[in-house]
Amino acid sequence: MLIPSIDLQKGRIVQLVQGEKLAVESSDVDGWIERFANYPAVQLIDLDAAMGIGTNDALVRQIASRLPCRVGGGVRSVGRAEDLLAAGAKAVIVGSAFFDVRRTAEEGGVIKHDFARALRDAVGINHVIGAVDSKGGRVVIHGWRTALPISAVQAVKALDAYCGEFLYTHVDKEGLMQGTDVTAIRAVKDATTARLTAAGGITTQDEIDTLHALGIDAVVGMAIYTGALKV
Protein backbone atom coordinates (compact mmCIF):
# COMPACT_ATOMS: atom_id res chain seq x y z
CA MET A 1 0.00 0.00 0.00
CA LEU A 2 1.15 3.51 -0.83
CA ILE A 3 0.89 5.98 2.05
CA PRO A 4 1.41 9.62 1.03
CA SER A 5 3.12 11.87 3.55
CA ILE A 6 2.34 15.39 4.69
CA ASP A 7 5.13 17.15 6.61
CA LEU A 8 4.32 20.40 8.39
CA GLN A 9 6.73 23.22 9.16
CA LYS A 10 5.86 26.79 10.13
CA GLY A 11 2.27 26.43 8.96
CA ARG A 12 3.20 25.04 5.54
CA ILE A 13 3.37 21.65 3.89
CA VAL A 14 7.02 20.94 3.10
CA GLN A 15 9.44 18.33 1.86
CA LEU A 16 13.03 18.39 3.07
CA VAL A 17 16.17 16.71 1.73
CA GLN A 18 17.89 14.71 4.48
CA GLY A 19 15.64 16.42 7.00
CA GLU A 20 17.35 19.79 6.48
CA LYS A 21 17.25 21.40 3.02
CA LEU A 22 13.88 22.75 1.95
CA ALA A 23 12.95 21.33 -1.45
CA VAL A 24 9.17 21.79 -1.65
CA GLU A 25 6.73 24.03 0.19
CA SER A 26 3.01 24.63 -0.25
CA SER A 27 0.29 26.57 1.52
CA ASP A 28 -2.46 24.76 -0.40
CA VAL A 29 -3.57 22.56 2.48
CA ASP A 30 -7.07 22.01 1.11
CA GLY A 31 -5.66 21.04 -2.27
CA TRP A 32 -3.46 18.32 -0.82
CA ILE A 33 -6.24 17.08 1.44
CA GLU A 34 -8.44 16.68 -1.63
CA ARG A 35 -5.67 14.93 -3.55
CA PHE A 36 -5.12 12.41 -0.77
CA ALA A 37 -8.82 11.97 0.10
CA ASN A 38 -9.14 8.46 -1.36
CA TYR A 39 -6.07 6.96 0.32
CA PRO A 40 -6.74 4.52 3.19
CA ALA A 41 -3.89 6.04 5.21
CA VAL A 42 -1.90 9.28 5.21
CA GLN A 43 1.21 10.03 7.24
CA LEU A 44 1.17 13.43 8.95
CA ILE A 45 4.33 14.68 10.67
CA ASP A 46 4.68 17.94 12.60
CA LEU A 47 8.37 18.73 12.03
CA ASP A 48 8.34 21.73 14.38
CA ALA A 49 6.98 19.60 17.21
CA ALA A 50 9.55 16.93 16.44
CA MET A 51 12.33 19.50 16.78
CA GLY A 52 10.81 21.04 19.90
CA ILE A 53 10.46 24.50 18.34
CA GLY A 54 6.68 24.86 18.36
CA THR A 55 3.73 23.00 16.92
CA ASN A 56 1.31 23.07 14.02
CA ASP A 57 -1.57 21.80 16.12
CA ALA A 58 -4.28 23.74 14.30
CA LEU A 59 -3.20 22.26 10.97
CA VAL A 60 -2.87 18.80 12.49
CA ARG A 61 -6.44 18.98 13.76
CA GLN A 62 -7.68 20.31 10.42
CA ILE A 63 -6.01 17.58 8.38
CA ALA A 64 -6.61 14.70 10.79
CA SER A 65 -10.31 15.51 10.91
CA ARG A 66 -10.56 15.08 7.13
CA LEU A 67 -8.03 12.35 6.33
CA PRO A 68 -7.22 8.97 7.95
CA CYS A 69 -3.92 10.12 9.43
CA ARG A 70 -1.21 8.49 11.44
CA VAL A 71 0.32 11.46 13.24
CA GLY A 72 3.85 11.95 14.53
CA GLY A 73 6.21 14.64 15.65
CA GLY A 74 6.91 15.48 19.27
CA VAL A 75 4.93 12.63 20.82
CA ARG A 76 6.88 12.47 24.08
CA SER A 77 4.14 11.70 26.58
CA VAL A 78 1.02 9.62 27.00
CA GLY A 79 -1.00 12.83 27.27
CA ARG A 80 0.25 14.10 23.93
CA ALA A 81 -0.62 10.80 22.28
CA GLU A 82 -4.11 10.91 23.77
CA ASP A 83 -4.60 14.49 22.57
CA LEU A 84 -3.66 13.58 18.99
CA LEU A 85 -5.96 10.59 18.97
CA ALA A 86 -8.76 12.78 20.31
CA ALA A 87 -8.03 15.24 17.47
CA GLY A 88 -8.74 12.52 14.93
CA ALA A 89 -5.47 10.64 14.47
CA LYS A 90 -5.93 6.94 13.78
CA ALA A 91 -2.57 6.16 15.38
CA VAL A 92 0.41 8.03 16.82
CA ILE A 93 3.98 7.70 15.58
CA VAL A 94 6.54 7.67 18.38
CA GLY A 95 10.29 7.73 17.87
CA SER A 96 12.80 9.56 20.06
CA ALA A 97 10.68 9.19 23.20
CA PHE A 98 11.24 5.41 23.15
CA PHE A 99 15.02 5.78 23.48
CA ASP A 100 17.37 6.93 26.22
CA VAL A 101 20.89 7.94 25.16
CA ARG A 102 22.15 7.56 28.74
CA ARG A 103 21.62 3.81 28.90
CA THR A 104 23.96 0.97 28.01
CA ALA A 105 24.82 -0.22 24.53
CA GLU A 106 23.61 -3.78 25.00
CA GLU A 107 20.74 -4.90 22.78
CA GLY A 108 17.57 -3.11 23.84
CA GLY A 109 19.41 -1.34 26.60
CA VAL A 110 18.51 2.12 25.35
CA ILE A 111 14.79 1.40 25.26
CA LYS A 112 12.51 3.21 27.70
CA HIS A 113 10.42 0.15 28.49
CA ASP A 114 8.39 1.85 31.22
CA PHE A 115 7.23 4.62 28.88
CA ALA A 116 6.58 2.22 26.00
CA ARG A 117 4.51 -0.04 28.24
CA ALA A 118 2.56 2.89 29.70
CA LEU A 119 1.78 4.26 26.24
CA ARG A 120 0.64 0.87 24.94
CA ASP A 121 -1.57 0.31 27.97
CA ALA A 122 -3.10 3.81 27.77
CA VAL A 123 -4.00 4.03 24.08
CA GLY A 124 -3.86 0.42 22.90
CA ILE A 125 -1.11 -1.31 20.95
CA ASN A 126 -2.91 -0.86 17.61
CA HIS A 127 -2.72 2.90 18.03
CA VAL A 128 1.08 2.92 18.51
CA ILE A 129 3.49 3.05 15.57
CA GLY A 130 7.13 2.86 16.56
CA ALA A 131 9.38 5.07 14.42
CA VAL A 132 12.81 3.55 13.93
CA ASP A 133 15.11 5.72 11.81
CA SER A 134 18.46 4.39 10.65
CA LYS A 135 21.53 6.17 9.32
CA GLY A 136 24.85 4.47 8.72
CA GLY A 137 23.46 1.30 10.24
CA ARG A 138 22.55 2.88 13.57
CA VAL A 139 19.28 4.18 15.00
CA VAL A 140 19.15 7.98 14.98
CA ILE A 141 16.87 10.21 17.06
CA HIS A 142 16.35 13.91 17.83
CA GLY A 143 15.75 14.83 14.20
CA TRP A 144 18.43 12.35 13.07
CA ARG A 145 21.13 14.27 14.96
CA THR A 146 21.85 11.70 17.69
CA ALA A 147 23.10 8.21 16.82
CA LEU A 148 22.44 5.34 19.22
CA PRO A 149 24.56 2.23 19.74
CA ILE A 150 21.90 -0.12 18.35
CA SER A 151 20.69 -1.09 14.89
CA ALA A 152 17.15 -0.85 13.57
CA VAL A 153 16.82 -4.62 13.80
CA GLN A 154 17.77 -4.54 17.49
CA ALA A 155 15.37 -1.66 18.12
CA VAL A 156 12.29 -3.30 16.60
CA LYS A 157 13.01 -6.54 18.45
CA ALA A 158 13.14 -4.62 21.73
CA LEU A 159 9.97 -2.63 21.00
CA ASP A 160 7.96 -5.45 19.43
CA ALA A 161 5.73 -5.96 22.47
CA TYR A 162 4.66 -2.32 22.57
CA CYS A 163 3.89 -1.38 18.95
CA GLY A 164 1.20 -2.56 16.59
CA GLU A 165 3.25 -1.30 13.66
CA PHE A 166 6.69 0.08 12.89
CA LEU A 167 7.75 2.91 10.61
CA TYR A 168 11.29 2.29 9.37
CA THR A 169 13.01 5.24 7.68
CA HIS A 170 16.25 4.60 5.82
CA VAL A 171 17.66 8.06 6.40
CA ASP A 172 20.67 7.50 4.13
CA LYS A 173 18.27 7.69 1.16
CA GLU A 174 15.73 10.18 2.53
CA GLY A 175 14.72 12.90 0.07
CA LEU A 176 17.45 12.10 -2.45
CA MET A 177 15.15 10.61 -5.12
CA GLN A 178 17.66 7.81 -5.73
CA GLY A 179 15.64 4.83 -4.58
CA THR A 180 15.60 3.05 -1.24
CA ASP A 181 17.42 0.07 0.31
CA VAL A 182 15.06 -2.89 0.06
CA THR A 183 17.58 -5.26 1.65
CA ALA A 184 17.79 -3.14 4.80
CA ILE A 185 14.00 -2.79 4.92
CA ARG A 186 13.51 -6.54 4.58
CA ALA A 187 15.91 -7.19 7.47
CA VAL A 188 13.74 -5.00 9.70
CA LYS A 189 10.60 -6.76 8.47
CA ASP A 190 12.08 -10.12 9.41
CA ALA A 191 12.85 -8.87 12.94
CA THR A 192 9.30 -8.08 14.01
CA THR A 193 5.87 -9.66 14.13
CA ALA A 194 4.24 -6.24 13.70
CA ARG A 195 3.25 -4.65 10.42
CA LEU A 196 5.98 -2.58 8.79
CA THR A 197 5.86 0.64 6.81
CA ALA A 198 9.02 1.81 5.06
CA ALA A 199 10.19 5.30 4.11
CA GLY A 200 13.30 6.95 2.79
CA GLY A 201 13.99 7.48 -0.88
CA ILE A 202 11.10 5.43 -2.28
CA THR A 203 10.71 6.87 -5.75
CA THR A 204 9.23 4.40 -8.25
CA GLN A 205 6.15 2.25 -8.61
CA ASP A 206 8.43 -0.77 -8.96
CA GLU A 207 9.81 -0.16 -5.47
CA ILE A 208 6.31 0.22 -4.06
CA ASP A 209 5.24 -3.03 -5.76
CA THR A 210 8.33 -4.86 -4.49
CA LEU A 211 7.64 -3.76 -0.92
CA HIS A 212 3.95 -4.58 -1.27
CA ALA A 213 4.84 -8.13 -2.32
CA LEU A 214 6.83 -8.43 0.91
CA GLY A 215 3.87 -7.22 2.97
CA ILE A 216 5.43 -3.81 3.56
CA ASP A 217 3.65 -0.49 3.07
CA ALA A 218 5.50 2.43 1.48
CA VAL A 219 5.50 6.05 2.61
CA VAL A 220 6.24 8.43 -0.25
CA GLY A 221 6.72 12.16 -0.05
CA MET A 222 9.25 13.85 -2.31
CA ALA A 223 8.43 11.74 -5.38
CA ILE A 224 4.75 12.71 -5.14
CA TYR A 225 5.27 16.41 -4.48
CA THR A 226 7.78 16.80 -7.31
CA GLY A 227 5.63 14.83 -9.73
CA ALA A 228 8.28 12.15 -10.26
CA LEU A 229 5.79 9.49 -9.16
CA LYS A 230 2.46 9.63 -10.93
CA VAL A 231 -0.30 8.42 -8.64
Active site members: 7, 133
Q: CA of 64: how far to CAs of 31, 48, 49, 87, 191, in Å?
A: 15, 17, 16, 7, 31
**Which residues make Cβ contacts (< 8 Å) with residue 60, sequence separation at least 6?**
8, 44, 46, 71, 84, 87, 89
**Which residues make Cβ contacts (< 8 Å) with residue 187, sequence separation at least 6?**
152, 153
Of 14, 3, 115, the residue nearest 56 (C-alpha): 14
HEC profile of 166-227: EEEEEHHHCCCCCCCCHHHHHHHHCCCCCEEEEECCCCCHHHHHHHHHCCEEEEECHHHHCC
Instruction: For residues 125 and 26, give the distance between their C-alpha atoms in angstroms, rounded to a whole number.
Output: 34
